[in-house]
Structure 1
Amino acid sequence: MPVDTLSEVLRAIRLRGAVFYAVTVGPEWAVAAPASAEVAAMVVPGAGRVIEYHVLLEGTAWASLPGQPPVRMAPGDIVMFPQGDAHVMASAPGVPPLPFSMDWMRDTHALPKPLPLAIDGNNLTWGEAVRQPDGHSDIVCGFLGCDHGPFNPLLEALPRLLHVPADGDGAWLRQAMLQAACGMAGHGGGGGSTPGGGALAERISETMFIDAVRRHAARLPEHATGWLAGLRDRQVGRALALIHADPRHPWNVAELARAAALSRSAFCERFARLLGVSPARYLARWRMEVAATLLRQGPASVAAIAFEVGYESEAAFTRAFARLVGMPPSRWRAAPPH
């Protein structure tokens, strides 16, 4: 897999780890988690998208989305919800979930993180009040914020529920999360009392996401389609690497097909089958993603950004941006994160 292409896209989304909880639960439990958009402003202010994740440290847990079969987790497993869906975490399928309430999140918003929580039946406690229930399970729960440009191919390619089983490649995660939780998973304590605990949790969360994406890509079946499958494909992956390495270049089908060692027709068919768009359309969309990032991250003029992404005039770039994104560049720059 052309890892540099994946790294380029991962950098574009600017991951930011945030609120982090060390949760201990009793033998029978279930919690309904809201769509991330409902809590985004509180947990990661200013993020374009918020991704909720859970890592099972000890015990058992099931993760489920409406309309999909539940997923059983083993210790060390990760589940993420890249599209921000409401979901249920439970000790077993069918356990009635404790409804989510914003009250406890508001009450704990200002407390240092990582923060210990305990759920025992319908009782929720945190901080010094946490006690370890009998037959408990320990789960790390947190949120990742990221920039969400108009056409980030990675975020679009990820499933609604991303389950990454613990294995040899991911064995480090469980120990890292235990360390990040400052030994508080399943124990009382003044959340975040260890200096640097919050920053450590944030960095580990960001690394965890990158590792989860890489392992998910490695496990894709041979017949898979989508951006990650295209990245893994030898011929299409070469073309994607060229586009991402130099989006300013006026790439055409002939050049990309030569790099992929395919005829023009075979290359276009393979590219469209895997990615669902033509090479020209993909290039145009990635240029807009790069431009949107530059518009948000710095003071460069629209004209300078137009040149940076391969347009000879500001007017041509502005027309293309408005056509693909739905608003002109100046409005995108001024708008709140999407």
Structure 2
Amino acid sequence: MNKVHDRSSELPAPSSVGDVLSDVLSSVRLTGSMLFLVDAHPPWMSWAPEAEAFRRVVLPQAQHMVSYHIVTRGRCWAGLRGAAPERFEAGDVLVIPHGAAYFLADSPEATPAYGAEEAVTFFRQMAAGELPSVVAEGGRGGEQTQFICGFLGCDTRPFNPVLAALAPLIHLRAASSAADRMRPLIEFALCELRGPSSGGRSVLLRLAELMFIEVVRRHLETVSTGQAGWLAGLHDPLVARTLSLLHGAPARRWTLDTLAAQTGTSRSVLAERFTQFVGQPPMHYLTQWRMQLAARMLGDPGVKVATVAAALGYESEAAFSRAFKRSAGMAPAGWRRRGEMEVGGVTIPTAEPRHPPVARTSSD
């Protein structure tokens, strides 16, 4: 039997790898919800309940809420509620991708000064623009800690490979490079937060999205080739090339044979390595990605199901509908109706916070 030569290691990481990440981030409807600055002095503890407790209050059209926090001055402890905290320094970033309850505090032994109802009410008011964009926590003396809080919504269904690849908590250390792309974004955000001006709310929401994208890009740089996962796959020449091909032409009638031919390897090597990183074979991934694209297209009430099916390479509306139902758990028409109706689901607290964070318009 002739030996099959795997030439995939000779492939450079394709220039369009960044576009694969852009593809996913644009498809999952990344939407800024709020961005504000916390100015804290001991003793203090800032915390958030599980995202589902306030997601439908502040961003009802989103399926999921992601939060991140950038320490801009001082230091603090942070972590998931009920787990051991980690020490954060100025420039460090805390990311909570999956909506778990978490906290930031001046001490690992700190206790919250307000409850879940007060926290939800605070987030509702902040998202509605009813509170100033700089919030004071704790006392007035001691070491000052400041951190930017960003919240944004996104889709998780039918398929969000970026979110699925992230750990429950991500701690990104401060970048040492002078060319750090985050620095000018932080400076811009601080300027807007401390000196609100006309159009500032729109600017802050766009900054919330842009800063999160940069956080994901920085996290991608920390992922090693020895790790598994969708993001790690972007560092592997074979997996990255395959993802680039699939995202570049999702409607094409791909087969494992054609993918193997275009990536210079065998069917078995391609299937094994792709599954190792991404967690599913290439053809399964393609179907999932097509369904995510379909879900986004179905959000437009003017687009017919047959049009979506044709755009994604399905020979018939029936074949597409069967594939979509297997992936999303409901028919395309039902998905569209669900999207139109999914605007509520939690009770908005009406009581004012008993011990809310104190908001102010400028920092000391």
CA contact (8 A) 1:9 1:152 kept: yes
Matches within 5 A, 1:189-228: 193-228=196-231
Partner-residue secondary structure (3-state), 1:297 = coil
CA distance in 2, matches of 1:296, 1:216: 30
CA distance in 1, matches of 2:256, 2:47: 48
Give the letter aligned to residue 154 of structure 2: C
Q: Paired residue for 1:150?
A: 158
Which of the residues 119, 140, 150 maps onto 2:148? Answer: 140
State the shift of 1:90 in Å.
1.2
Give the letter aligned to residue 308 of structure 1: A
CA distance in 1, matches of 2:188, 2:164: 32
Q: Paired residue for 2:48?
A: 33
Aligned residues with identical type, % of pairs: 38
Which of the residues 311, 316, 320 maps onto 2:314? Answer: 311
Q: Paired residue for 1:188?
A: none
Partner-residue secondary structure (3-state), 2:54 = helix
CA distance in 2, matches of 1:279, 1:107: 45
Q: Paired residue for 1:19?
A: 34
CA distance in 2, matches of 1:265, 1:105: 50
Shift of the 50–106 alpha-carbon distance from structure 1 to 2, 3 Å rule, reads closer
Shift of the 107–315 alpha-carbon distance from structure 1 to 2, 3 Å rule, reads closer
Matches within 5 A, 1:1-338: 2-66=17-81, 68-98=83-113, 99-100=115-116, 101=118, 102-106=120-124, 108=126, 110-111=128-129, 115-120=133-138, 133-167=141-175, 168=177, 171-182=180-191, 193-336=196-339
- Partner deviation per Cα, 1:190-229 (whole Å, 9 max, x = no partner): xx74223222222222111111111111111232111111
CA distance in 1, matches of 2:141, 2:183: 21
Shift of the 286–105 alpha-carbon distance from structure 1 to 2, 3 Å rule, reads closer
Partner-residue secondary structure (3-state), 2:91 = coil
Shift of the 109–56 alpha-carbon distance from structure 1 to 2, 3 Å rule, reads same
CA contact (8 A) 2:45 2:138 kept: no
Partner-residue secondary structure (3-state), 2:152 = strand
CA contact (8 A) 1:295 1:305 kept: yes
Q: TM-score, normalised by structure 2?
A: 0.82
Q: More deviation in 321-330 or 18-27?
A: 18-27
CA distance in 2, matches of 1:34, 1:170: 35
CA distance in 1, matches of 2:78, 2:43: 14
CA distance in 1, matches of 2:134, 2:203: 16
Q: More deviation in 299-308 or 40-49?
A: 40-49
Shift of the 307–293 alpha-carbon distance from structure 1 to 2, 3 Å rule, reads same
Shift of the 207–183 alpha-carbon distance from structure 1 to 2, 3 Å rule, reads closer
Q: Higher relative contact order by CA 8 Å / sep ≥ 6: 1 or 2?
A: 2
State the shift of 1:113 in Å.
6.4
- Partner deviation per Cα, 1:273-314 (whole Å, 9 max, x = no partner): 111111111111111111111101352110110111121000
CA distance in 2, matches of 1:57, 1:76: 6
Unpaired segments ≥5 residues, structure 2: 1-12, 344-364
Q: TM-score, normalised by structure 1?
A: 0.87
RMSD over aligned CA atoms reads 2.3
Unpaired segments ≥5 residues, structure 1: 122-131, 186-191
State the shift of 1:71 in Å.
2.5
CA distance in 2, matches of 1:258, 1:79: 42
Give the letter aligned to residue 118 of structure 1: A
Q: Paired residue for 2:351?
A: none
Q: More deviation in 26-35 or 321-330?
A: 26-35
State the shift of 1:172 in Å.
4.7
